[in-house]
Amino acid sequence: MKKRILILSTGLLFSFSTLAQAKQNICVFDLLGKAGESYKLIEEWALASKNWDADVNLMAYQDEAKVEQDFKAGKCDAFYMTSMRARAYNKFAGSIDALGGVPSNHIAQKAISFVLDKRNKKRLVSNIGNEKYEVAGIGQIGTAYLFVRDKSINSIEKAAGKKFAILHYDQAQKIIVQRIGAVPVMADISNFVKKFNNGEVDMIAAPAYAFKPLEIYKGLGTTGTMINFPVVNVTADLIIRPDKFPSGFADHSRAWFVQQLPKTFAIVKRMEAEIPAKYRMNLSKEDQVKYQKILREGRIDLTKQGIYEPTMMTVLKKARCTVERTNFECSLSGE
Q: 105-115 and 310-323 helices cross at what angle (nearest 10)?
A: 140
Where is average pLDDT lowest: 2-16, 84-98, 164-178? 2-16
Taking only the tens place, the pLDDT of each residue in 268-285 is: 999 999 999 999 999 888
147 has a pLDDT exceeding 70:
yes
| Under 8 Å between Cβ of 98 and 316 | yes
What's the N-to-C CA distance of the chain in angstroms?
66
Q: Evaluate the CA torsion angle 64, 66, 71, 76 in order and state its sign.
A: negative
DSSP output for 59-100? EEES-HHHHHHHHHTTS-SEEEEEHHHHTTT-HHHHGGG-TT
Distances (CA, A) of 110 to 114, 230, 263, 296: 6, 17, 14, 20
Please return the burial class of 18, using the count of CB atoms within 10 Å of its CB with bins 0-12, 13-18 and 19+. Answer: exposed
Q: pLDDT class for 168, splitting at 50, 70, 90?
A: confident
- Report all structural domains of the chain as residue ranges with CATH numbers, in order of start: 24-141+234-273 (3.40.190), 144-233+279-306 (3.40.190.170)
Q: Torsion over CA of 185, 191, 192 and 195, rounded to 10 degrees? A: -70
pTM value is 0.89
Where is average pLDDT lowest: 18-27, 57-66, 224-233? 18-27
